Amino acid sequence: MKQPDYTYPKHEKLKSKTTIDRLFTEGKTVAKYPLRLVYVPITHIKGGGTLQMGVSVSKKHFKKAVDRNYFKRVLRETYRLNKHILTDKITEPTAFMFFYQTKDRLTYEQINTKTIQLFEKFIAQEGL
């Protein structure tokens, strides 16, 4: 059995402005409160791989950059540890944007549990 890859290399980071714009115009959504995942298929990823992930925390809910950065770090970490759920099922290159959408300050464990549920809901929704 293959060991899950617990890394978040540079080629998996969503940086392309055009891809991010496509996510907001054409992207499909799956949500598991307070997390939301917006995704769109893309043509290819430089450096290989099948997915690119970006994270976002609302300035409306967290005024201080320190707080936003904390939740972005938590989202990236929960993605890194649970991305095997997605990579085992996804075959074509896909871009994801991962949002934290509440004022509530959930613990790391709560966010991790919700992330797993969100990824499983995505797989069920896409029929993978």
Domain CATH number, residue 90: 3.30.230.10
Q: What pairs with residue 38 in β-bridges? A: 29, 97
Q: For strands 94-100 and 51-57, give the pairing.
A: parallel
Q: Is residue 77 part of a domain?
A: yes
pTM score? 0.91
Q: Domain residues for 47? A: 10-126
- Give dist(CA 61, CA 84) in Å, integer: 30
Domains in the chain: how many in total?
1
Q: Is residue 17 part of a domain?
A: yes
pLDDT per residue, tens digit, the chain (128 aa), is: 567 778 888 989 999 999 999 999 999 999 999 999 999 999 877 777 789 999 999 999 999 999 999 999 999 999 999 999 998 889 899 999 999 999 999 999 999 999 999 999 999 998 87
Q: Is residue 2 part of a domain?
A: no
Q: Is residue 5 part of a domain?
A: no
